[in-house]
Amino acid sequence: MIKYREKIGALLASFALNLKRYKNAAFIFIKGKKDDIKSSTSSSIQLVPSVIKKPSVVWRWLFTSYWFYFSLIIAVILMNTVVGAAIDKSLTKIYPTIKTEKFFGLVVQEQNDPRIEWQRKLIRGVLWVGACGLNAYVLLLCLPGIVRKTTRKARKNEAKADAIVTEKPSESILLYSKALKLAVGQSHESCLKSKIDTLDDAFRSGKIERSSPMSSTTPEPKGTGTLVLPKNEFPNHSKQENVIGPDGRYRIERKLGNGAMGIVFLAKDQLLFRDVALKKLTAGQNLDQNLVTRFQQEARALARLSHPNIVQIYDFVQEENQYWIAMEYVEGKDLDSHINENGKYVIAESLRMCILIAEAMDYAHNRGVVHRDFKPSNVLVTNAGDVKVMDFGLAKLTHSSIATMEGSLIGSPAFMSPEQAMGKAVDERSDIYALGVTLYQLLTGKLPFKGDLKSVITQKIAGHQPSLKLLENQMPADLIRIVSNMMANNPDERPVTMNDVGQTLRKISQTES
């Protein structure tokens, strides 16, 4: 009898423990979903004032919000069939029919309770208001995705216009105008308006001349004017400290920050009328030929990459023993700053960003470029919520004859793969490791390895596997598994390509949504 009591007691204790675990897991899941909804709602509301000023964006919003139409159709069908019948049935039970006897009970008349009709109208009215409110909320949640799509479309039109502005300024104005209709955000609008106004002024002042036809039998196509800016009319042509490049093309406006290999400035491209980020090799590094080679390597690597989630390179300038790279200027902050300010991210947002990063890195890998120094501070988060990978300054061109710095320790220790910490040759799998550490940091707000620089490198060389305790009981098993695989000490145990990483993360994201 005592043995049975002990067994029953043990079973009850085990049941209570499991119940507590499930309760905690459910609480964490619900809390995470609440955070997701709160974050999505807040970002959607912030976008509304900017969007309502843009009819083109509003129409795209209304016509491409498929979830809104799906929920609206479901609401209409349910309200006119199932819900209506359920209301009538419930009210009939609450208020039964009234029976009236006449002619000494020989005739019995039945009629509905008069309260049923007005209560039916009241309930239907409340339900319709609720359904409309819910559908409006669904439409609101569709807004950030539409803004991201229209912003990408605007950027593409702007990039096309920038590419042909010197040969076909007339077509450039049309493309800038199309981009302006889709641009959301005051800074982007101001930039596009400035470009359009500058070209308009050039037309009016006669600075734009038509290119001469190759022969009298081949007439010049319409809209192929060439923009001609004489040297004496070029802005800031005289040599100044804040002007660099041929004919003073780039005018430095202010310092943006310090990169791993140089100083970054905001500059104005006075030929294409756009803001650029200028990266300068710091003065103390100019005499180091290895650093110069790596700086030139960054320019060559980036010049081969054109992807919406990679910072685009425009130009490489060598002037008076000084080296510069002109690249796309992105308004926003780096991901590392966001993590330091906000702590950990919700699962949905972490997956969204890492999927975009994986797609960008896969694009680079397919073109023979390995980042070698990937980390959150090398990811820019735009004001529209997109991410852009930058600073391929330590990239190794796997199919290039440029000397690699094998045996040298290049990279950031916290995100460095074990093989990279040992100074071995690295490939795409080192970038996968770094993205795994980044995903871990996004989900937990902390790094997997603790200690100073020397300690972290020692742990990686010794083959210590990072602890995943912070992920357990909080994250889906599939997500924990992919993070663990990405941070495997043995490169052969990691996913083979960034495409594999992106596909796996996308499946997890679809399961979580």
* d(C-alpha 312, C-alpha 351), whole Å: 24
Q: How many C-beta atoms surround the C-beta of residue 368 within 10 A?
A: 15
CA distance 87 to 120: 7
Provide CB contacts within 8 A for 267, sequence distance 6+. Answer: 250, 251, 252, 253, 275, 276, 277, 278, 326
Can you point out the beta strands (E) in 363-498? Answer: 369-370, 379-382, 387-389, 396-397
Smallest Cα–Cα separation from 385: which of 44, 5, 11, 20? 44
Distances (CA, A) of 498 to 26, 197, 435, 468: 32, 43, 9, 22
Residue 422 DSSP one-character state: T
Q: How many CB atoms lie within 10 A of CB 138?
A: 17
Which listed residue (269, 315, 362, 373) is catalytic?
Answer: 373
* CB atoms inside a 10 Å sphere around CB 134: 13
Q: Is 373 a catalytic residue?
A: yes
Q: Taking Cα atoms as reference points, which of 152, 181, 192 lies closest to residue 59? A: 181
The Cα diameter of the chain in Å comes to: 118
DSSP assigned state of 320: T
Residues with Cβ within 8 Å of 212's Cβ and at least 6 positions away in sequence, in order, are 220
Q: What is the token pair recorded at 430? A: 């080192």
Distance, CA of 47 to CA of 465 (rounded, Å): 43
The 3-class secondary structure across 139-163, one letter per residue, is HHHCHHHHHHHHHHHHHHHHHHHHH
Exposed / middle / buried, residue 205 (Cβ in 10 Å: 0-12, 13-18, 19+) = exposed
The β-bridge relationship of strands 332-334 and 225-227 is unpaired
Query: Distance between CA 153 and CA 115 in Å, rounded?
Result: 57
The catalytic site residues sit at 373
